[in-house]
């Protein structure tokens, strides 16, 4: 069994093929390991940790909300969220008619140390921005972006820092590493 942690760069699709013209950057531009598939996705304009595995049971465990696998995101947002906005994120916001699960949300005291993005975010001199950390146990389409927008703080840059106990530590955009059997076991996969 093979499971890898990959730092998906900005503007890369979370799939191995693309039929558009001209073709866009995909996982195949970075990963040459047959048989592994993404356990979840990140939008093209999001960055960060993507786990890929050839273990279908592990992919199911990581992607089905009933397993409550936490995912930690760092979001650079427009404006400075006050405690009411953070409380709303924690208790869940309504997206497309359905309330999100409870989340952990906090404002980061300093910006995380991240490499510069290939395409800089838009900066407005009259509107400050800050970084928040969100921990979710579900993964709806564009959920973090929709949650921050719902509380009045659109996301400017989004990085997934961790899935369960696996983090981006030691990786750089476009790099990957194979997980140790003990790391896979903690995530709920087979350790052999």
pTM: predicted TM-score of the whole model, two decimal places:
0.93
Active site residue 45: no
Q: Which of 43, 55, 82, 84 is catalytic?
A: 43
Mean pLDDT for all residues in the chain: 92
pLDDT of residue 125: 81
The continuous run of DSSP H or E covering 107 comes out as: strand 104-107
Q: Going from the N-terminus, what domains does the chain have, and what CATH number goes with each?
A: 1-68+165-192 (3.30.70.580), 70-163 (3.30.70.1560)
Q: pLDDT tens across 64-119, in order?
A: 878 889 999 999 999 999 999 999 999 999 999 999 999 999 999 999 999 998 88
CA 39 to chain CA mean position, Å: 11
Residues 162, 49 contacting (CB under 8 angstroms): yes
pLDDT (tens digit per residue) in 110-135: 999 999 988 888 877 888 999 999 99
Pairing state between β 71-78 and 155-163: antiparallel
Tell me what pLDDT residue 188 has: 78
CB 52 within 8 A of CB 37: yes
| Percent of the chain clearing pLDDT 70 (strictly above) | 98
């Amino acid at each position: 069994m093979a499971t890898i942690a990959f730092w998906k760069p900005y503007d890369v699709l979370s799939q191995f093929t693309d039929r558009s013209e001209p073709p866009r950057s995909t996982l195949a531009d970075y990963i040459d390991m047959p048989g592994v598939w993404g356990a979840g996705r990140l939008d093209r304009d999001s960055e960060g940790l993507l786990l890929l595995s050839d273990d279908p049971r592990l992919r199911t465990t990581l992607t089905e909300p009933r397993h409550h696998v936490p995912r930690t995101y760092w979001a650079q947002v427009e404006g400075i969220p006050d405690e009411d906005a953070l409380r709303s994120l924690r208790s869940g916001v309504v997206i497309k008619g359905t309330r999100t699960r409870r989340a952990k949300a906090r404002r980061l005291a300093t910006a995380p140390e991240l490499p510069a993005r290939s395409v800089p975010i838009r900066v407005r001199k009259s509107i400050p921005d800050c970084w928040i950390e969100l921990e979710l146990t579900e993964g709806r389409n564009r959920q973090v972006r929709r949650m921050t927008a719902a509380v009045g703080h659109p996301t400017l840059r989004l990085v997934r820092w961790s899935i369960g106990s696996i983090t981006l530590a030691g990786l750089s955009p476009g790099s990957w590493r194979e997980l140790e059997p003990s790391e896979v076991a903690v995530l709920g996969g087979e350790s052999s």
